[in-house]
Amino acid sequence: MPGPLTLGQIVQRLGGRVAGDPQILVHQVASLEGAQAQHISFFTGSRYRAQLGATRAGAVVLGPEAENETGLPRIVAENPYAYFARVSQLFNPLVRQEPGVHASAVVAKSAQLGASVSIGAGCVVGEGAFIGEGSTLYPRVVVYAGCTIGARAIVHAGVVIGADGFGIAEEHGRWVKIPQIGAVRIGDDVEIGANTTIDRGAIDDTLIEEGVKLDNQIQVGHNVRIGAHTAMAGCVGVAGSATIGAHCQIGGGAIVLGHLTLADRVIISAASVVTRSILKPGQYSGVFPIDDNAAWEKNAATLRQLHGLRERLRALEKKTP
Amino acid sequence: MPGPLTLGQIVQRLGGRVAGDPQILVHQVASLEGAQAQHISFFTGSRYRAQLGATRAGAVVLGPEAENETGLPRIVAENPYAYFARVSQLFNPLVRQEPGVHASAVVAKSAQLGASVSIGAGCVVGEGAFIGEGSTLYPRVVVYAGCTIGARAIVHAGVVIGADGFGIAEEHGRWVKIPQIGAVRIGDDVEIGANTTIDRGAIDDTLIEEGVKLDNQIQVGHNVRIGAHTAMAGCVGVAGSATIGAHCQIGGGAIVLGHLTLADRVIISAASVVTRSILKPGQYSGVFPIDDNAAWEKNAATLRQLHGLRERLRALEKKTP
Amino acid sequence: MPGPLTLGQIVQRLGGRVAGDPQILVHQVASLEGAQAQHISFFTGSRYRAQLGATRAGAVVLGPEAENETGLPRIVAENPYAYFARVSQLFNPLVRQEPGVHASAVVAKSAQLGASVSIGAGCVVGEGAFIGEGSTLYPRVVVYAGCTIGARAIVHAGVVIGADGFGIAEEHGRWVKIPQIGAVRIGDDVEIGANTTIDRGAIDDTLIEEGVKLDNQIQVGHNVRIGAHTAMAGCVGVAGSATIGAHCQIGGGAIVLGHLTLADRVIISAASVVTRSILKPGQYSGVFPIDDNAAWEKNAATLRQLHGLRERLRALEKKTP
Task: Find the helix or strand (DSSP H, E) in which A307 lies.
Answer: helix A306-319
Residues of B numbered 124-153 whose beta carbons fall under 8 angstroms of chain A's beta carbons: which are they? 138-140
Pairing of strands B28-29, C25-26: unpaired
* A296, containing H or E segment: helix A293-303
Q: Does A51 touch chain C (CB under 8 A)?
A: no
* CB interface of A with C, residues 214-243, below 8 Å: 215-217, 229, 231, 233-235
Question: What one-letter code names the amino acid at C261?
Answer: T
What are the residues whose beta carbons fall under 8 Å from the beta carbon of C30, sequence distance 6 or more? B203, C36, C39, C40, C41, C57
Domain end among C65, C91, C117? C91
Q: Which DSSP letter does residue A92 get?
A: S
- Contact with chain B for residue A168, Cβ under 8 A: yes
Report, as an integer, the average pLDDT of A235-253: 98
Mean pLDDT of chain B: 96
pLDDT, tens only, A158-186: 999 999 999 999 999 999 999 999 999 99
Is 70 exceeded by the pLDDT of residue B220?
yes
Is the per-residue pLDDT at A95 higher than 90? no
pLDDT at B48 over 80: yes
Whether C293 and chain A come into contact, CB under 8 Å, resolves to no
Q: What DSSP line would sit under A201-262, residue for residue?
A: PSSS-EEE-TT-EE-TT-EE-TT-EE-TT-EE-TT-EE-TT-EE-TT-EE-TT-EE-TT-EE
What whole-number distance in Å separates Cα of residue A232 and Cα of residue A251?
A: 6
Contacts of A98 by beta carbon, 8 Å cutoff, 6+ apart: A118
- pLDDT tens, A4-25? 999 999 999 999 999 999 999 9
The answer on B144 and B68 residing in a single domain is no
Amino acid at A129: A
**Distance from the C109 Cα atom to the nearest Cα atom in chain A, whole angstroms:** 14
User: Please, are residues A140 and C144 in contact by the beta-carbon 8 Å criterion?
Assistant: no
Please tell me the predicted confidence (pLDDT) of residue B1.
Answer: 62
Are residues A231 and A170 located together in one domain of the fold? yes
**pLDDT reported for residue C1:** 61
H or E element in which residue B18 lies = strand B17-19
**Are residues C67 and C131 part of one domain?**
no
Q: Considering only the beta carbons, identify the residue of C79, C139, C310 that sits closest to B309.
A: C310
Residues 54-113 of A with CB under 8 A from B: 104, 106
E strands, A64-190, are: 74-76, 100-101, 106-107, 112-113, 118-119, 124-125, 130-131, 136-137, 142-143, 148-149, 154-155, 160-161, 168-171, 174-177, 184-186
**Chain B residue closest in CA terms to A315:** B317
For residue A92, the chain C residue with the least C-alpha distance is C179
pLDDT classification of A153: cutoffs 50, 70, 90: very high
pLDDT reading at A104 higher than 80: yes
Q: Determine, yes or no, domain membership for C39.
A: yes
Assess B319–C contact: CB distance below 8 Å, yes or no.
yes
Q: How many domains does chain A have?
A: 3
Q: Could you read off the pLDDT tens digit of each residue along chain C, which spans 321 residues?
A: 678 999 999 999 999 999 999 999 999 999 999 999 999 999 998 889 999 999 999 999 999 999 999 999 999 999 999 999 999 999 998 878 999 999 999 999 999 999 999 999 999 999 999 999 999 999 999 999 999 999 999 999 999 999 999 999 999 999 999 999 999 999 999 999 999 999 999 999 999 999 999 999 999 999 999 999 999 999 999 999 999 999 999 999 999 999 999 999 999 999 999 999 999 999 999 999 999 999 999 999 999 999 999 999 999 999 887
Domain shared by B71 and B113, yes or no:
no
Residue A302 and residue A216 share a domain: no
DSSP state of B187: -
Choosing from A65, A91, A117, the residue where a domain stops is A91
**Is residue C289 assigned to a domain?**
no
Q: Say yes or no to pLDDT of A231 above 70.
A: yes
Mean pLDDT of B242-252: 98
Give the Å distances, CA to CA, from C189 to A47, B199, C214, C215: 36, 20, 11, 14
Here the ipTM equals: 0.96
C86 lies in the same domain as C116: no
Residues of B with Cβ-Cβ distance to A179 under 8 angstroms: 88-89, 91-94
The average confidence (pLDDT) of chain A is 96
C66 & C111 share domain: no
- The residue of chain B nearest to residue C305, with distances taken between CA atoms, is B299
Q: A51 with A171, same domain?
A: no
DSSP states along B225-267: EE-TT-EE-TT-EE-TT-EE-TT-EE-TT-EE-TT-EE-TTEE
Q: Are A199 and A180 in contact (CB under 8 A)?
A: yes
Nearest to A286 among B291, B304, B317 (CB): B291
The CATH number assigned to the domain holding A217 equals 2.160.10.10
A270 and C255 within 8 Å at the Cβ level: the answer is yes
- Roughly how many angstroms between the first and final C-alpha of chain C, as a whole number? 78
Q: Which chains touch A (3 or more CB pairs under 8 A)?
A: B, C
Q: How many angstroms separate the CA atoms of B171 and C246, rounded?
A: 15
The predicted pLDDT at position B94 comes to 81
Element (H, E) at A285: strand A282-285
- Cβ-based contacts of C219 with chain B (< 8 Å): none
Residues 6+ apart with CB under 8 A from C50: none
Q: Is the pTM of this model over 0.95?
A: yes
Q: How many CB atoms lie within 10 A of CB A214?
A: 28
- Three-state DSSP state, C221: coil
Q: Which chains would you list as touching B if contact means 3+ CB atom pairs under 8 Å?
A: A, C
Contacting residues of C for B313, CB less than 8 Å apart: 313
- Within chain B, where are the H helices? 7-14, 49-54, 80-91, 293-303, 306-319
Contact status of B297 with chain A (Cβ, < 8 Å) = yes
Contact of C319 with B319, CB cutoff 8 Å? no
Cβ distance of A163 and B193 shorter than 8 Å? yes
- Structural domain of A28: 5-91
Catalytic residue among A39, A156, A222, A229: A222
Give me the pLDDT at residue C46, please.
84
Instruction: Give the residue numbers of C marked as catalytic.
Output: 222
Longest dimension (CA), chain B: 83
CA distance A130 to chain B (A): 18
Check C173 against A247: CB less than 8 A apart: yes
* Rounded Cα–Cα distance for residues C183 and C164 (Å): 9
- Chains adjacent to C (≥3 CB pairs closer than 8 angstroms): A, B
Nearest to B239 among C94, C195, C252 (CB): C252
Tell me phi and psi for residue A177, to 5 degrees.
-75, 130
Q: Which of B91, B125, B145 is the last residue of a domain?
A: B91
Q: Sort out which chain C residues have CB atoms less than 8 A from A16's CB and list them.
A: none
- At B267 the pLDDT is 98
Yes or no, beta carbons of C89 and B179 under 8 Å apart: yes
Query: Do A217 and C221 lie within an 8 Å CB cutoff?
Result: no
- My answer on whether B135 and B83 are in the same domain is no
Same domain, B187 and B252: yes
Which residue among B191, B213, B291 places its CB closest to the CB of A285? Answer: B291
CB–CB contacts below 8 A, A to C: 221
Q: Which chain A residues are closer than 8 Å to B271 by Cβ?
A: 255, 273
Is B255 near chain A, with CB under 8 Å? no
For residues A70 and A107, state if they share a domain.
no
Task: Indicate which CATH number applies to the domain containing A53.
Answer: 3.40.1390.10
**B62/B131 same-domain check:** no
